[in-house]
Structure 1
Amino acid sequence: MMKDKDPVKARGQEAPGSSGREEVLSSESESSGEPGIAPEPAAGAESALAAGEVPVSAEGLRDRWLRAEAELQNFRRRAQRDLEEARRFTEERVLLEMISMLDDLERGLESAREAGAPDPWVQGVQLVAQRMGDYLAGLGITPTHPLGERFDPEFHEALLEVDAPPGTEPGEIVQVVRKGYRRNGRALRAARVVVARRPGGEGH
């Protein structure tokens, strides 16, 4: 008499090759694109969406480029203007020092003449002063002696006001204390002057 097979043992045994078929079917179902199974988004796209970035159009890129170009041009103009102003300021400082030395030479020359200094000495100092004046003139710098002119605050510095002498009008320069200098028509050093005013202390 034959014994029945153990049902538990029979259930625990698997048919040969069944495991391989199930794995193949599982992989085919994953790659077949069945409904309900969505592919994962790419890492770069997911990070861009998370950051809230919006793709920039060609027109937007062009606007950015135009703004950057305009800012660069403005920066270059400002830098050039600042460079020119710094150069002019440095030049004028040197020129004003030369003018101050020329003033000293002219005062010394006047004092030497009044004191009766020897002519060779006076002529030597006069030659140096003349050469300095010629050099300044070559740079477009000319002295101004505005006696009798109307007071102009752009070119003149008023040290004192006095009652207008006979034959003069209020606002007229009646004395030049220190002559001025101009460079190409622009004031380099204002002339120090005394200005006439209306009798009784009224302004000009």
Structure 2
Amino acid sequence: MNVIEEDMEVHNEQVENKEEVVLTEDEKRLLELEEKLATSEDRYLRLQADFENVKKRNVAERAANQKYRSQIIAEELLPALDGFQKALDTQSDSEQMEALLTGMKMVYGQIMTALEKEGVEAIPALGEQFDPNFHQAVMQDSDGSKESNEITMELQKGYKLKDRVIRPSMVKVNQ
């Protein structure tokens, strides 16, 4: 390239740079509008994502409510089941008492069947290894014939609804 061409190229670059710097009012307005549009689109996309998250959360909450719908009634029935169990564990000498206990066993069985249909089940405890997720240790035992951390006595039956513990079993655990 010769000097004239180089000067011309430098001049063209300077003119282009000046055009970039010097904007007309319409171009400024267009840039502002494009910036506002980009901001609005971003805001719209964020709101849409938030809305989708809320919808997903509502669906998950409804599914959990449906799955655990019987938890409240089960929690309310547990003390009555404990009372039934204590009554059924009593020894009787008379025929009348035996007839009464038989009737109570039938009612207890019907209640347990209804709860089992809803997914409520007793937590196994006696002879099992202690698991703090399902058992609450309230006493300690020192029986040499049992393994360490083995449950030696169940003081109060625990229950779970599907995979959720309603009430942990109160147990006596071997050291």
TM-score by length of 1: 0.60
Quote the residue 2:85 is aligned against. Answer: 106
Alpha-carbon offset, residue 162 of structure 1: 2.2
TM-score by length of 2: 0.68
Alpha-carbon separation, structure 1, partners of 2:44 and 2:124: 56
Quote the residue 1:10 is aligned against. Answer: none
Quote the residue 2:26 is aligned against. Answer: none
SS in 1 for 2:80: helix
Is residue 145–residue 176 contact of structure 1 (8 Å, CA) maintained in 2?
A: no
Is residue 156–residue 193 contact of structure 1 (8 Å, CA) maintained in 2?
A: yes
Equivalent residue pairs, number: 144
Q: 1:115 to 1:143 in 2, by over 3 A?
A: farther
Deviations 1:163-190, CA, capped at 9 Å, x for gaps? 2x12112211111111212222442221
- Which runs of 5 or more structure 2 residues have no equivalent in the other structure? 1-28
Quote the residue 1:179 is aligned against. Answer: 157
- Which runs of 5 or more structure 1 residues have no equivalent in the other structure? 1-48, 198-204
Alpha-carbon separation, structure 2, partners of 1:152 and 1:66: 47
Query: Whose relative contact order is higher, 1 or 2, with alpha carbons under 8 Å and at least 6 apart?
Result: 2
SS in 2 for 1:193: strand
What is the percent sequence identity of the aligned residues? 24
Quote the residue 2:140 is aligned against. Answer: 161
Alpha-carbon separation, structure 2, partners of 1:104 and 1:175: 18
Is residue 142–residue 183 contact of structure 1 (8 Å, CA) maintained in 2?
A: yes
1:188 is aligned to 2:155: no
Q: Which structure carries more helix by proportion?
A: 2
Q: Give me the CA root mean square deviation.
A: 2.8
Q: Which amino acid aligns with 1:188?
A: I
Is residue 157–residue 192 contact of structure 1 (8 Å, CA) maintained in 2?
A: yes
Q: Which amino acid aligns with 1:193?
A: V
